[in-house]
A and B are shown apart, each in its own frame.
Chain A
Amino acid sequence: MAYAMHGGIQYEYIDAMRAARGADVTDMAPSASLVLTLPENKRVLVRVGDRVLRGQVVAEADGILLHTPEAGFVSETSDAVRIECDGTDETAATVVKTNKRLQDCTREEIIEKLRICGVADSDGSSMADRLESADGASVLIAECIDDIAAASSPASIVNGMKILMFALGVRQGVIVCGDDIIDAAKKLSDICAKSKLIKVATVRAKYPQADKKRLAYAVTGRRAANEFVVSAQTCAAVYDAFVTGMPQTRRIVSVTKGKISKNIRAAIGTSFAELLKFAGIEVGGGGDIVEGGLLCGHSVSPGDSVGKTTRSLAVLASDNVYVRRGADVCIRCGRCVSACPEKLLPNYIVSYIRDGKEHAALSRGALDCDGCGVCSYVCPGGVPIADIITGFAKNHAREAGSEAQNERDKS
C-alpha cells in the first residue's frame, strides 16, 4: 500500500539520510556531564549539590517532566540542569515496571504512566496531554519517514502503537514509511501481520513529509482530518515507558556530514560536540551545525545538547551552504509551485508581499506556509521565497497581536 504526497523534493541530503537508515544504531555511553536544557517556561525541582538517581525527576518544562538519564550530582540549575554523573547505576524508586497486561489497564493509568515518564512527541508535545485531549480520531498514524527508530526497534514501535491505540480507543493503525527503508518496512509488516489492526504503508521518500496534517491528509484524503499522528520513535518510547517504567532519557539521533552518516542512541543532555566526536565527525568553525534537516532545521552550536525532540544533526560542508545569490528574480518557472507541499503558489505570494498587497498574500494562504524551504531550494531565480513568506507571517502575527492588545487596552 502506498500513499501519494504532494510536492517535496529529493535532494542529496536524503542520500546521506538513506545511509543512516540502513545503518545500525550505536549506543553511546553517557558523558561525564549532561546538560538538560530548559525552556523559559520551567520549574526546577533540584538544587545545586543535590545527588540525583537515574530516572529521577529534575525539572518540569512546558508541562513535561524532565528526568536525569544517569545518577550523579547537580552542578547547575539556572538555564539548564547540569548533572555530573558519578558512574553508579542507582535507579530512582519511582521507576517501576508495569506488571499488568495492557487489556487490564485503564486509559487513565496509561496516561498517568506516560506523564510520569515525561514522554514527548518529536514536536515537543506531551503525549499524556495529547492523549487526554484526543478527540475524534479514528486512525493512529505512526510517521516513520524521517525516523530511523524503525530499523532498530520495530517491535517496540508496533507495541507502542498498540498501547496508544488502546488508550485512544481506535481500532486501526497505519505506519507510514518512506520507500527508502523497505527493509525496515518489511520487518514492520511481518510483525504486524499477526495483529491485523495495524498496517504498513509507504510514501515516496522526499523532503518534507513528516508533517502531521499532510500525513493525515495522505492517509485519509481529508484536509481537516484530526487523526492522531505520532512519530515512530515516540511509539517506541511509549512502549519502553509502559513496560520498564524508565522515563524518556534517550534519543536516537542521526548525524550526517556529506556522505558520512551514523545513528546514535544518546542520553538526553549529551552535548552536540561530544555526540559528533563520538560519531567521528569533525566540526569546522562555529555555527555550521544544523538540527532537524538541512532545509527547515535550525542552526545550533556545539555546546547545545540533545533534547527530547532531537532527531538529526547535520554538519555543513562550507562549500554547500545556501547562499543568497545576487539574482533574486522570479522567472515564473513554476518549480516552487510543484515543490510546495502545502499546495501554495509561493511565487505569487512573494510578489504580493513585495508589492505590499497584504490582503492578496493572505487570501493566497501566506499563513499556511510552514517554512519548509523547498521553494527557495528549487528556485532557479535565487528568490529567498521561504524567508520572505515566513518573515511576512511573523510580522503579520505580531501586528495582529498588538492590535488585539490595543483593543483590550481601549476597553
Chain B
Amino acid sequence: MNAIKADGAPFIKSPETVRAMMADVVTAMIPAAVWAVWRFGAKALLLMALSVSTSVLCEGVFEFIAKKRVTVGDLSAVVTGLLIAFGLPVEAPWYVPVFASVFAIIIVKCAFGGLGANVFNPALAGVVFVRLCFRSRLPYSSALTALAVGKLPEYSVYDAAVGMTDGAIGEVSAMLLTVGGLYLIVRSVIDWRVPVLFVGTVAALSVLFPQNAAYILYELFSGSLFLGAVFMATDPTTTPVTGVGRCVFAVGAGALTYVMRRFGGDLDGVAYAILAMNMLSGTIDRIAAPRSMRSGTGTEAAK
C-alpha cells in the first residue's frame, strides 16, 4: 500500500549510528590525549596526528580501490589511529605510527572484511606488530620495568595512578582513562562489567598470589592495564556479544594478563592477553548463548 508498510517493523527512526558511538569513544579519549601532550610534549601530538591520518587514509584508499563503500565517516579509523598512538612511547620515530596504522587497517581490519568482521583488535595488533619489528627503536620504561628487577619505582603510587610516570603516551594516566571509561559507561557505549572485571581479576590474582605486596598497586596502575580494560577489551567487534560472554572475556583477559606479567617474556602482557581472548570471542558466544524464551534453543552449538 505504501512505503512504510513494505518496510515492516520498526516504523520509528532509530537514533543509533556507528558514527555516534565512535564519536563518544573519541570524546572519552580526549582527557588521556590532553594528558599525553601535557606530559610528553608536542611529539605526542605528532604521533597521534600521524597515526590517525594514516589510518583514515589507508581505510579510504583501500575501500576506494576495492570498490567498496568508503566508510571513513563512521570514525572507527580515527579511534584505531588514536589507540595506536596511545600505545607508543614518545620516543617512537615518525614512521612507527605510520607502519602500525597501515598494518592495523589494511591487514588486520580491511583484509578480514572491514568494520565488524575483523577478529583481532586492529590497534592492538598494530602496536604489537611495530613493537616486534622496531624493538630497538621503541624504548619502554614504566613502573613495571623497575619492578621487574625487584626495585620500587622512584615515584609514589599516587603519581602512578594520576599518570606522573613513564610508559606509552596514552597509557600512563589510569585516572584519566577511568574518567573516559565512566563517560562511555554513562553513554552506554560500553558494558561496565568489562573494565571492572578485567582490572578486578588482575587485582584479585595479585592479592591472592602476590609477588611482593608492595608492588600490587604499582602493577595495577602501570603498563597498559587501564588502557586495555577501558578501550581495547570493550571493542565491540572483537569481543563477545552476550553479557555473560563479555564477562568471561574480561576475566580471561585479566587472568592471562596476570600470568603473562608474572611469567611472560614481555614486560606487559595486556596486549597479548586481549589478542589471545579476541580469538576466543566467537567460541565464547557459541557457548554463552542465552536460552531463547520460547523454544529454549541456543545451548546447542550452531553448525
Verify if A386 is at the interface (C-beta below 8 Å from B): yes
Within 8 A of B (CB), among A65-110: none
Q: Mark B279-303, 1 if CB is under 8 A from A, else 0.
A: 0000001000111111111101011
B5, A213: Cβ atoms closer than 8 Å:
no
CB distance from A186 to the nearest CB of B (A): 30
CB distance from B27 to the nearest CB of A (A): 16
A345, B285: Cβ atoms closer than 8 Å:
yes
Verify if A63 is at the interface (C-beta below 8 Å from B): no
CA distance A322 to B15 in the complex (A): 9
Interface of A is mostly: loop
CA distance A341 to B289 in the complex (A): 14
CB distance from B286 to the nearest CB of A (A): 9
Verify if B136 is at the interface (C-beta below 8 Å from A): no
Within 8 A of B (CB), among A269-317: 286-288, 290, 294-299, 301, 314, 316
B116, A381: Cβ atoms closer than 8 Å:
yes
Verify if A117 is at the interface (C-beta below 8 Å from B): no
Verify if A58 is at the interface (C-beta below 8 Å from B): no
B242, A381: Cβ atoms closer than 8 Å:
no
Chain A residues with CB under 8 Å of B243's CB are: 334, 337-338
Verify if B74 is at the interface (C-beta below 8 Å from A): yes
Out of A341, A344, A345, A387, which one reaches B8, CB within 8 Å?
A387
Q: Interface size (A, Cβ < 8 Å)?
A: 70
Out of B1, B10, B116, B297, which one reaches A331, CB within 8 Å?
B116
Verify if B2 is at the interface (C-beta below 8 Å from A): yes
Out of A322, A329, A348, which one reaches B116, CB within 8 Å?
A329
CA distance A359 to B92 in the complex (A): 51
Given contacts A341-B293, A345-B242, A365-B292, contact A299 B12 (CB under 8 A): no
A343, B11: Cβ atoms closer than 8 Å:
no
Of the candidates B9, B115, B294, the one having the most CB atoms from chain A within 10 angstroms of its own CB is B9
Instruction: Pick out which of these stretches binds chain A: B16-24, B120-128, B138-146, B196-204.
Output: B16-24
Verify if A214 is at the interface (C-beta below 8 Å from B): yes
CB distance from B167 to the nearest CB of A (A): 29
CB distance from B21 to the nearest CB of A (A): 5
B4, A347: Cβ atoms closer than 8 Å:
no
Verify if B154 is at the interface (C-beta below 8 Å from A): no
Interface of B is mostly: loop
Chain A residues with CB under 8 Å of B191's CB are: 334
A334, B236: Cβ atoms closer than 8 Å:
yes
Which A residue sits closest to B246, measured CB to CB? A334
CA distance A6 to B237 in the complex (A): 24
Chain B residues with CB under 8 Å of A13's CB are: 12
A364, B298: Cβ atoms closer than 8 Å:
yes
Within 8 A of B (CB), among A327-343: 327, 329-335, 337-338, 341-343
Could you list 23 A-B pairs, sorted by A, with CB under 8 Å?
A6-B293, A213-B294, A223-B293, A294-B10, A295-B9, A298-B5, A316-B11, A325-B17, A331-B237, A334-B236, A338-B243, A344-B298, A348-B285, A363-B300, A364-B297, A364-B302, A365-B295, A373-B9, A376-B9, A378-B16, A381-B116, A386-B10, A390-B9
Q: Which residues of A contact B (CB under 8 A)?
A: 6, 11-13, 213-214, 217, 223, 286-288, 290, 294-299, 301, 314, 316, 319-327, 329-335, 337-338, 341-345, 347-348, 352, 357, 359-360, 363-365, 367-368, 371-374, 376-382, 384, 386-387, 390
- What 4 A-B pairs have minimum CB-CB distances, sorted nearest first? A287-B2, A373-B9, A334-B241, A373-B10
